[in-house]
């Protein structure tokens, strides 16, 4: 599967696992990188788009991945020359909005206006109190996107147990080796210094891409 994204940036680990998580919604989710890394990427003028993904939770039956992201995700190509289209409803707007992939809609009987809770970390005995409302259903793509349940990134982190206090965030940065100033993640260069992140090429996970110039969309997890 060829995507329209040059790089996926995530916590240190397996590039293959990073791609399986973000593109295919498979395998066990890995740790997130600090939000400040995303802000650095967003501010980099060489990058056309930096789009965060928050993964880990599932629908309450455990069958489909919850993907916390921003509305910008629906504005860029998902494969070269193609943007996501709606079969019904609208894209994400409010913090408690949800957009269903065609596959997750067809098997959960979700429809616009339906509200649902989500399972923390895919643990079916730990269902969050907060509910999200279906506002849109994607047209089929024939890709793993059809299995996704997309919610607003801000709403994802307003769920109890997802957010961190400023003090906790600072402690996490120190633990990851990011103390003393944030490392700057450049594209396509490798992450300098002791950055707690790595990048993967979504089309060739085993190779670090060297030809990207930031002129096409970029996905940051």
Is 102 within the bounds of a domain? yes
Query: How far is Cα 18 from Cα 11, in angstroms, rounded to an integer?
Result: 8
Is 135 within the bounds of a domain? yes
> Residues 91, 33: one domain?
no
Q: What is the pLDDT of residues 173-214, one digit of tens each?
A: 555 454 433 332 322 222 333 345 667 777 666 554 433 333
Statement: residue 72 has pLDDT above 70: yes
Is 98 within the bounds of a domain? yes
Is 61 within the bounds of a domain? yes
Is 179 within the bounds of a domain? no
Is 147 within the bounds of a domain? yes
Give the mean pLDDT of the chain.
77
Give burial (CB, 10 Å; 0-12/13-18/19+) of 77.
Answer: middle
Block residue for tokens 């923390």:
120
Stretch among 43-47, 52-56, 76-80, 166-170 having the lowest mean pLDDT: 166-170
Query: How far is Cα 54 from Cα 31, in angstroms, rounded to an integer?
Result: 10
Closest CA to 127 of 57, 67, 63, 25: 57
> Residues 47, 73: one domain?
no
Statement: residue 14 has pLDDT above 60: yes
> Residues 197, 144: one domain?
no
pTM of the model: 0.77
Q: What is the pLDDT of residues 80-133, one digit of tens each?
A: 899 999 999 999 999 999 999 988 765 445 678 889 999 988 889 999 999 999
Is 167 within the bounds of a domain? no
Query: How far is Cα 97 from Cα 110, in angstroms, rounded to an integer?
Result: 13
> Residues 30, 65: one domain?
no
Is 205 within the bounds of a domain? yes
The CA radius of gyration of the chain, in Å to the nearest whole number, is 17
> Residues 104, 10: one domain?
no
> Residues 149, 75: one domain?
yes
Count other C-beta atoms under 10 Å from residue 141's C-beta.
16
**Which residues, 6 or more positions from 70, have their beta carbon under 8 angstroms from its beta carbon?**
51, 52, 92, 152, 153
> Residues 49, 61: one domain?
no
**Which residues, 6 or more positions from 73, have their beta carbon under 8 angstroms from its beta carbon?**
51, 150
Provide the domain limits for residue 78: 55-161
Q: What is the pLDDT of residue 218?
A: 37
Q: What is the pLDDT of residue 180?
A: 38
> Residues 43, 61: one domain?
no
Angstrom distances, CA of residue 8 to CA of 69, 99, 184: 14, 22, 15
Number of domains, the chain: 2
> Residues 61, 154: one domain?
yes
């Amino acid at each position: 599967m060829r995507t329209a994204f040059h790089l996926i940036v995530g916590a240190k680990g397996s590039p293959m696992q990073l791609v399986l998580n973000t593109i295919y919604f498979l395998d066990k989710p890995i740790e997130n990188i600090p939000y400040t890394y995303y802000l650095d990427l967003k501010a980099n003028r060489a990058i056309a788009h930096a789009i965060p993904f928050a993964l880990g939770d599932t629908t309450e039956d455990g069958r489909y991945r919850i993907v916390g992201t921003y509305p910008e995700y629906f504005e860029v190509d998902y494969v070269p020359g193609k943007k996501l289209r709606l079969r019904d409803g609208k894209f994400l707007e409010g913090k408690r909005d949800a957009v269903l992939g065609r596959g997750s809609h067809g098997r959960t009987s979700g429809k616009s206006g339906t509200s649902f809770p989500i399972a923390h970390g895919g643990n079916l005995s730990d269902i969050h109190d907060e509910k999200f409302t279906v506002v849109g259903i994607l047209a089929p793509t024939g890709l793993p996107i059809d299995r996704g349940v997309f919610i607003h990134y801000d709403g994802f982190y307003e769920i109890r147990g997802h957010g961190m206090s400023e003090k906790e965030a600072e402690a996490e940065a120190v633990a990851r080796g990011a103390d003393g100033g944030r490392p700057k993640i450049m594209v396509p260069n490798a992450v300098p210094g002791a950055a707690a992140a790595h990048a993967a090429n979504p089309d060739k996970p085993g190779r670090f891409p060297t030809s990207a110039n930031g002129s096409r969309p970029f996905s940051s997890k």
